[in-house]
Amino acid sequence: MSLKDKLLSSYLTFQENQDFDNSIHDIKDAAIKIFEEKGFPTKKDENWKYTSLNSLVKGDFSLVGRNEDAIEFRDVKKYFLNDIDTYKIVFIDGKYSSYLSETTHDGVDVCLLSAALTKPKYKPVIDKYFDKIVKKDSLTSLNTAFAREGAYIYVPKGKTVSKPIQIVHFATGLESSLMLQPRNLVVVEENAEVQIIERHQSLNSNAVFTNSVTEIYAADHARVDYYKIQNDKEAASLIDNTHIDQQTSSEVAVHTFSFGGKLTRNNLNFYQNGEHNNSILKGVTIIEDKQHVDHNTLVHHKQPNCESHQDYKGIFDDRATGVFNGKVVVDSVAQKINAYQSNNNILVSDKASINSKPQLEIFADDVRCSHGCTIGQLDEDALFYMKTRGIGEKEGRALLMYAFANNVLESVKIPQLKSRITKLIANKLGVNLGFEV
Amino acid sequence: MLEINNLNAGIEDKEILRGIDLKVNAGEVHAIMGPNGSGKSTLSSVIAGKEEYEVSGGDILFEGESILEMDADERAHKGVFLSFQYPVEIPGVSVTNFIKTAINQTRKAKGLEDMPASEMLKKIREKSELLEIDRKFLSRSLNEGFSGGEKKRNEIFQMAMLEPKLAILDETDSGLDIDALRIVSNGVNKLRSSDNAVIVITHYQRLLEYIVPDFVHVLVNGKIVKSGGKELALELEEKGYDWVKAETAV
Ligand SMILES: Nc1ncnc2c1ncn2[C@@H]1O[C@H](COP(=O)(O)OP(=O)(O)OP(=O)(O)O)[C@@H](O)[C@H]1O
Ligand SMILES: [Mg+2]
């Protein structure tokens, strides 16, 4: 049975076991219909030309994990940011782990979507936002149909969440192959502020296929700072669908660090629904072997006087492949827009490849749009210069790659995270950089 | 310290250096002058170990040992330093982080531990004061957006940090204003001792008033055609290169 058929046939049983109210059931019924019609995207789909889900959709994935709280904190400690205090929402094989988590209802809600979907007190927020921000494509719809668990973050007017929130999804590999569909809802009201770090991590080399959806709503003057750490094991694949609704004078930044995993696809969609929005999309991709990372971004400028800044850097070794597909749409009413986009890549091996494609659809006349894409090798003159100062080939290359990625890190606002990422980069490049950051 | 014997080098089919002989002893300062395109930068690059150039004949000995087969970084570890005519920009790496990496890599090659942070800081402070470099400058990306003069001053700062045995300064004076020339020369002179040597490549006599050479060599068309004392530089400044060319033409 194909994965699609398996999903469709298990849908009814899944629904019967949930105590959602009718409006949620209706949303889910509509979503499964969309998925049934559209199915998994194929390479014939313009947006999926360079990323094939073939090997995944043929896989025999279990759709539910075992219900065991099977891991100890000390075994997974390294996957958390530990040197600062944080809230934690942790899932093991799709199930909430209260033992590893630290949630709150003190002024803000940092808790579980399963609770929000079922308890009456969250109903107003769920009715207003759940499934309202998303683009109803087949993968997001598939997630909507099965969505039950994930992070629920609600930050009321004027509140700043006092510490960053870590959302971590572990896969234990108890199942030989497991499909996970976490769903996060982040609502940040007027003048409120939050920082979130999200990570998907499998703990052994069994296959995991995660189809994740995150909805983020940033009200007037809200600030959201979201970091995605994608450094998973060789048999883990991730499709991340993130949909962001921005209202007047809000600022939302999403940093995506893609350092590992078999196949990673980021569908990152920004909808600017107010004036004076700032949208920041940054990414560093460093992959090797036969890994594949695809960044598919959309910034839809629907209102005037807004900005968007996209800066994606990639370093590809061995037979690794990358895709950058950055779409910027400027509606005719959206005058005085500044939209920047840059995608720079280094191919370390001649077998590595990157497909980079900007797509600009501009219907307003008073806009400033710039986009640039480079694909290159490391600068040999710089390597020689460094050697004359005693810095050898390997360290020199690493330093150049670090430097190349470095300016993307400059906008990381959590210092401990920044130094963690720098160390990850140094580790990946196999060197001691000779200095702390 | 440095002995170059009948060195021939070029790039692809182009012959650039045609039989260079040069001997530099510890404690000496040698100046190399010569018209544009005569091969001065090529000679420095070949000594420093740029692989692009092919050595077709002759040898380069450093402290009695041939260095031709060594990588540029190995040569640097042995104490060879080249101040570039055109320093390379490295966006994203600060001057401080760069020099720390350079020093610690050099120490590692010698089997030493990293330099303790406090010692490193002290040394950076000392050398940046010597070269009158502003603190803020050290946190900027290496050479990125530096003015011509700032780049040169920064090269000498790195030299002062690394304390090489042989420093080759390729047109370090070009781009420096009058005050900077004095400061940078002073920095170079501070490094001078009976144990190390300097080769200065320049077009102008002015630098040689500060860094006084023991020998001046004239490089024309890939050959050293004339050598003399410091007065030779004055003579060149006055008369240009034509008379040397005429004198040596066969
Ligand atoms: N990488 C290269 N490729 C091709 N030609 C080169 C290369 N490097 C040097 N040359 C040539 O070799 C000759 C010597 O160049 P070099 O830079 O050594 O001269 P120079 O004496 O330093 O000149 P200047 O006083 O202008 O700095 C020139 O004709 C130059 O064009
Ligand atoms: Mg030159």
Residues A82-113: tens digit of each pLDDT = 999 999 999 999 999 999 999 999 999 999 99
Q: CB–CB of A216/A196 below 8 Å?
A: no
Nearest ligand for residue B42 CA: 1
Q: Is B39 in the pocket of ligand 1 (CB under 6 A)?
A: yes
Give CA–CA dist A214/A141, Å, rounded. 12
Mean pLDDT is lowest, of A15-29, A203-217, B34-48, B95-109, for: A15-29
Instruction: Name the one residue in this structure whose structure tokens are 């789909």.
Output: A45
Number of helices (H), then strands (E), belonging to chain B: the values are 10, 12
State the Cα–Cα distance between residues B153 and A259, nearest whole angstrom: 38
Q: How confident is the model at residue B156 (pLDDT cuts 50, 70, 90)?
A: very high
Instruction: Name the residue of B12, B38, B52 whose CB sits within 8 Å of the most ligand 1 atoms, as the mutation to test its pocket.
Output: B38
> How much is the pLDDT for A423?
85
pLDDT for A323-356, tens place per residue? 999 999 999 999 999 999 999 999 999 999 999 9
pLDDT band at A428 (very low <50, low <70, confident <90, very high): confident
Residue type, B126: E
CB atoms within 10 A of CB A361: 10
Q: Is the pLDDT of residue B250 over 60?
A: no
Res B240: pLDDT: 84
**pLDDT at position A174:** 86
A159-189 as b/e: b if 16+ CB within 10 A: bebebbbbbbbbbbbbbebbbbbbbbbbbbb
Is pLDDT at B242 greater than 70 in this prediction? Answer: yes
- The answer to whether residue A382 neighbours chain B at the CB level (below 8 Å) is yes
- Percentage of chain B exceeding pLDDT 70: 99
Q: Is B191 buried (19+), middle (13-18) or exposed (0-12) by CB count in 10 A?
A: middle
Residue for token pair 């060594």: B70
CA distances from A120 to A20, A100, A140, B122, B179 (A): 10, 26, 25, 64, 76
Distance CA A56, CA B152 (A): 56
Query: Does B16 sit in the ligand 1 pocket, CB within 6 Å?
Result: yes
Q: Test B90 with A403 for CB contact under 8 angstroms.
A: yes
pLDDT the model gives residue A434: 57
Kindly state the tokens that stand for A278: 């700032």
Nearest to A358, CA basis, from A320, A316, A327: A327
Please report which confidence band the pLDDT of residue B245 belongs to, taking 50, 70 and 90 as the band edges.
confident
Q: What is the CA radius of gyration of chain B?
A: 18
For chain A, what is the mean pLDDT? 93
3-state secondary structure chain A: CCHHHHHHHHHHHHHHCCCCCHHHHHHHHHHHHHHHHHCCCCCCCHHHCCCCCHHHHCCCCECCCCCCCCCCHHHHHHHCCCCCCCEEEEEECCEECCCCCECECCCCEEEEHHHHHHCHHHHHHHHHHCCCCCCCCHHHHHHHHHCCCCEEEEECCCCECCCCEEEEEEECCCCCEEEECCEEEEEECCCCEEEEEEEEEECCCCEEEEEEEEEEEECCCCEEEEEEEEECCCCEEEEEEEEEEECCCCEEEEEEEEEECCEEEEEEEEEECCCCCEEEEEEEEEECCCCEEEEEEEEEECCCCCEEEEEEEEEECCCCEEEEEEEEEECCCCCCEEEEEEEEEEECCCCCEEEEEEEEEECCCCEEEEEEEEEECCCHHHHHHHHCCCCCHHHHHHHHHHHHHHHHHCCCCCHHHHHHHHHHHHHHCCCCCCCCC
> Which amino acid, A246?
Q
CA distances from A338 to A126, A310, A359 (A): 33, 11, 15
A267, A388 contact by CB (below 8 A): no
Residue B97 belongs to domain spanning: 2-249
What pLDDT does A248 receive?
Answer: 98
Cα-Cα-Cα-Cα dihedral sign, residues B170, B144, A417, A106: positive
Q: Are A299 and A268 in contact (CB under 8 A)?
A: no
| Interfacial A residues in 320-349 facing B (CB < 8 Å) | none
Instruction: Answer for the pair A279, A309: CB distance below 8 angstroms, yes or no.
Output: yes
CA distance A70 to A55: 28
Question: Average pLDDT for residues A273-283, to the nearest whole number?
Answer: 97
Question: How far is Cα B19 from Cα A249, in angstroms, rounded to an integer?
Answer: 70
Q: Which of A409, A434, A429, A407 minimizes the C-alpha distance to A419?
A: A409
- Round to the nearest angstrom and report the end-to-end CA distance of chain A: 51
**A391 inside 8 A of chain B by CB:** yes
Across the interface, whether the CB atoms of A387 and B103 are under 8 A apart is answered no
Whether B202 is in the pocket of ligand 1, judged by its Cβ within 6 Å, is no
- Out of B51, B87, B100, name the one closest to residue A434 (CB): B100
- Distance between CA atoms of residues B152 and B191, nearest Å: 16
Q: Which helix (H) or strand (E) holds B152?
A: helix B148-162
Strands B14-24 and B2-11: antiparallel
Residue A235 has pLDDT above 70, yes or no: yes
Mean pLDDT, chain B, integer: 92
Contact B88 A379 (CB under 8 A): yes
DSSP 8-class letter at B112:
P
Closest-CA residue of A relative to B139 is: A437
Q: Is the CB of B50 less than 8 angstroms away from the CB of A400?
A: no
Q: Quick check: A70 pLDDT over 90? A: no
What is the percent of chain A where pLDDT is above 90? 83
Ligand 1 contact, B11 CB (< 6 A): yes
Closest CA to A166 of A197, A187, A193: A197
More confident residue, B230 or A266: A266
Query: From ligand 2's centre to the CA of B40, what distance in Å?
Result: 5
Is ipTM > 0.90 here?
yes
Q: A392–B49: do the CB atoms touch at under 8 Å?
A: no
Count the Cβ atoms, other than its own, within 10 Å of residue A124.
9
Distance CA B42, CA B11 (A): 10
Test B92 with A403 for CB contact under 8 angstroms. Answer: yes
| CB-CB contact of A396 with B93 (8 Å) | no
Contacts of B100 (CB under 8 A, 6+ apart): A434, A435, B115, B120
Phi and psi for A366 in degrees, rounded to 5?
A: -100, 70
- Surrounding ion ligand 2 within 5 Å at CB are B 40-41, 85
Q: Give the whole-angstrom CA distance, residue B57 versus residue B187.
A: 36
Ligand 1 atom index nearest CA of B16: 12
User: What are the structural domain ranges in chain A?
Assistant: 3-429
- Res A430 pLDDT > 80: no
Reduced to 3 states (helix: H, G, I; strand: E, B; else coil), residue B142 is strand
Give the residue with greater pLDDT, A249 vs B208.
A249
pLDDT tens string A13-56: 888 888 888 899 999 999 999 999 999 999 999 999 999 999 99
Which residue's structure tokens are 């909507």? A144
Whole-number pLDDT of residue A436: 57
Task: Give nearest CA residue, ligand 1 atom 4.
Answer: B11
Mean pLDDT, rounded, for A49-65: 92
Q: Kindly tell me if the per-residue pLDDT of B174 is higher than 70.
A: yes
Which residue in this structure is represented by tokens 């759709």? A63
Residue B52 CA: which ligand 1 atom is closest? Answer: 1
| Predicted pLDDT of residue A67 | 64
Q: What pLDDT, in 10s, does the model give residues B93-140?
A: 889 999 999 999 999 999 999 999 999 999 999 999 998 998 889 999
- Cβ neighbours of residue A367 closer than 8 Å, sequence gap 6 or more: A301, A330, A334, A335, A336, A337, A338, A339
Residue of chain A whose Cα is closest to the Cα of B80? A388
Under DSSP, is residue B209 helix (H, G, I), strand (E, B) or coil?
Answer: helix
Residue A62 CB neighbours (<10 A): 15
Instruction: Report whether residue B36 contacts ligand 1, using a CB cutoff of 6 Å.
Output: yes
Q: Which residues of A touch B82 (CB under 8 A)?
A: 388
Q: How many domains does chain B have?
A: 1
Look at residue A379 in the predicted model and tell me its pLDDT.
86
